[in-house]
């Protein structure tokens, strides 16, 4: 399948690989044929679309804006579109979504399709981690993550929130961004790095505790000697 980005020529309209032709003459390439099927599916799920698109000009404008939105946001395969349509069929409204809303469905569905969590899942884990870190667990590596990728996403969110004093709404926005970034990485063959317990950190804690205990014993004996010295003096 051709990339959707191939259908544009410097953002000025549909690209034509053959010789220039009259703008009223449509060169039907593969992606345009596919978009016809896309439109049929959208109309079946969102019947109110007929109230918005009444003329050929309306359809042409709709088509151009949606394809441009796909191209700008990396929706380049029919598989991604099918994922978005799965989410679309769950909606209870007859009105067609904006291109941006549909793109977000495609990306969210793509992330779920490869086993990544939703923003809601991330935020629940974020809140649980924030409540337990320093109490039931001392380090992020000790926390019982529901999914390995949660470690990398949630710790990033906590770090950013503290550094930039972000609101929960801003944290949610970044969560969506990170999920999409991980979806792209995994789609390109990367894997989620394993979580490694920081043994060195634990060893340092033990050594510190042992030192503090030894020092306390020394201080105690110093007090005993001083007391005996006063009593014998």
Concatenated DSSP letters for 202-219? HHHHHHHHHHHHHHHHHH
Whether 139 maps to a domain, the answer reads yes
* Structure tokens given for 97: 């979504």
pLDDT tens per residue, the chain (233 residues)?
444 444 434 344 444 343 444 333 333 344 566 788 889 999 999 999 999 999 999 999 999 999 888 878 878 777 888 889 999 999 999 999 999 999 989 888 888 888 999 999 999 999 999 999 999 999 999 999 999 999 999 999 999 999 999 999 999 999 999 998 999 899 889 999 999 876 544 444 544 545 455 566 566 667 767 777 777 76
- pLDDT for 196 equals 82
Whether 231 maps to a domain, the answer reads no
* Structure tokens given for 131: 């409540």
| 95 and 153 together in one domain | no
| 124 and 203 together in one domain | yes
* Structure tokens given for 58: 């309306």
- Choose the final residue of a domain: 73, 89, 113: 113
- pLDDT for 18 equals 38
Whether 102 maps to a domain, the answer reads yes
| 9 and 74 together in one domain | yes
Largest CA-CA distance found in the chain, in angstroms, rounded:
114
Whether 13 maps to a domain, the answer reads yes
Q: What gap in Å lies between CA 95 and CA 63, rounded to an integer?
A: 16
Q: What gap in Å lies between CA 96 and CA 110, rounded to an integer?
A: 20
Whether 233 maps to a domain, the answer reads no
| 94 and 132 together in one domain | no
Burial of 156 (0-12, 13-18, 19+ CB in 10 A): middle
| 55 and 11 together in one domain | yes
- Choose the final residue of a domain: 113, 134, 157: 113
Residue 34: domain span: 4-113
| 135 and 173 together in one domain | yes
- pLDDT for 214 equals 59
Q: Is the CB of residue 42 less than 8 Å from the CB of residue 96?
A: yes
| 79 and 137 together in one domain | no
| 146 and 100 together in one domain | no
Q: How many domains does the chain have?
A: 2
Whether 225 maps to a domain, the answer reads no
Q: What gap in Å lies between CA 149 and CA 155, rounded to an integer?
A: 10
| 9 and 69 together in one domain | yes
């Amino acid at each position: 399948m051709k990339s959707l980005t191939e259908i544009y020529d410097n953002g000025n309209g549909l690209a034509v690989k053959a010789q220039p032709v009259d703008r009223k003459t449509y060169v039907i390439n593969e992606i345009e044929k596919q978009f016809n099927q896309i439109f049929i599916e959208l109309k079946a799920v969102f019947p109110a679309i007929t109230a918005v698109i009444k003329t050929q000009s309306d359809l042409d404008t709709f088509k151009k804006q949606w394809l441009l939105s796909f191209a700008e946001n990396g929706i380049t395969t029919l598989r991604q579109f099918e994922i978005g349509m799965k989410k679309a069929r769950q909606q209870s409204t007859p009105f067609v979504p904006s291109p941006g809303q549909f793109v977000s469905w495609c990306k969210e569905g793509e992330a779920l399709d490869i086993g990544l969590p939703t923003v809601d899942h991330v935020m629940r884990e974020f809140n649980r981690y924030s409540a337990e870190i320093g109490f039931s667990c001392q380090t992020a590596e000790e926390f019982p993550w529901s999914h390995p990728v949660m470690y990398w996403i949630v710790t990033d969110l906590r770090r950013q929130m503290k550094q930039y004093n972000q609101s929960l709404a801003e944290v949610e926005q970044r969560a969506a961004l990170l999920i999409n970034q991980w979806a792209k990485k995994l789609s390109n063959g990367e894997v989620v790095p394993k979580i490694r317990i920081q043994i060195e950190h634990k060893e340092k804690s033990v050594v510190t505790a042992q030192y503090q205990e030894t020092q306390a014993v020394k201080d105690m004996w110093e007090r005993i000697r001083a007391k005996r010295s006063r009593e014998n003096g």
